[in-house]
Amino acid sequence: MTNAPVHPADRPVDRQALRASVSAVPKQFLDPPAAWNPTVGLFLGGYLLAGVTIAGWFLWGWPLPLLLATGFLALHLEGTVIHDACHNAAHPSRFWNAVMGHGAAMLLGFSFPVFTRVHLQHHAHVNDPKHDPDHIVSTFGPLWLIAPRFFYHEYFFFQRRLWRGHELLEWGIARGVFLAIVLAGVKYGFIDFVFNCWFAPALMVGVTLGLFFDYLPHRPFQSRNRWHNARVYPGRLMNWLIMGQNYHLIH
């Protein structure tokens, strides 16, 4: 009998070297960009569009479909901002990165500490039914109801006690500001603007983010290997529409 040839990649030492080489994403691909970068432009552009939406309702008398479009685009831009900020990749300054994250979260109706801690849990436990919070968001019920399931993130945040440092205080301040805006809308008669030009676009963006950030990248929700647990949807049009998040592959 002859011994079967041993492929170099099957040798124990080579396998260990291979595992070491792919165990982490190279650092040069994770460093934050320069101070003025496209994510800063998205952040400022989102707030500019939010201001246009407010002025269009209160000053210019724009039709509701146009205001829905500007409101949706404003929040859609901030979706990429909050995602990059939670990875400390929106700005090289930790302070301004946090400002952008909290600012984006405010427009989206999110809490930045909740989004950050829950999203990092998702990265650590992709497609794990018990420990991946986005698994519930993506699979628990029909796809068209994916937006309200994002509130599960708040429950997950408190159930797992994920906050660090002053993040619980930050959550309280953000939710207090959100509630104050809604109550002011009721008291001073602009609650119709809140529902039509903020909550309605937020619902539309929730479906969009849920589809492109949660559902499509990870279906069929089986693999937990970081190199196989996500997929890309290549295409120039898609790349522009969701600002490169169709290439958000390695978790």
Global confidence as pTM: 0.84
The number of C-alpha atoms within 13 Å of 204 and in the hemisphere containing its C-beta is 18
In a domain, 223, yes or no: yes
101 and 82 in contact (C-beta within 8 Å)?
yes
Residue 20 binned pLDDT confidence (cut-offs 50, 70, 90)? very low
Chain centre to alpha carbon of residue 175? 18
Who contacts 202 (Cβ-Cβ below 8 Å, separation ≥6)? Answer: 75, 108, 109
CA distance linking residue 71 with residue 131, whole number of Å: 33
Average pLDDT, the chain: 87
In a domain, 179, yes or no: yes
The number of folded domains in the chain is 1
Say if residue 207 is exposed, middle or buried (CB neighbours under 10 Å; 0-12, 13-18, 19+).
middle
In a domain, 118, yes or no: yes
In a domain, 51, yes or no: yes
In a domain, 98, yes or no: yes
pLDDT of residue 4: 45
Who contacts 110 (Cβ-Cβ below 8 Å, separation ≥6)? Answer: 82, 104, 150
- Mean pLDDT is lowest, of 60-69, 118-127, 174-183, 240-249, for 240-249
Q: Is the dihedral of CA 125, 128, 131, 132 positive or negative?
A: positive
Containing domain of residue 154, as a range? 33-247
pLDDT of residue 6: 47
- Mean pLDDT is lowest, of 43-57, 164-178, 236-250, for 236-250
In a domain, 108, yes or no: yes
Q: Which amino acid is at 45?
A: G
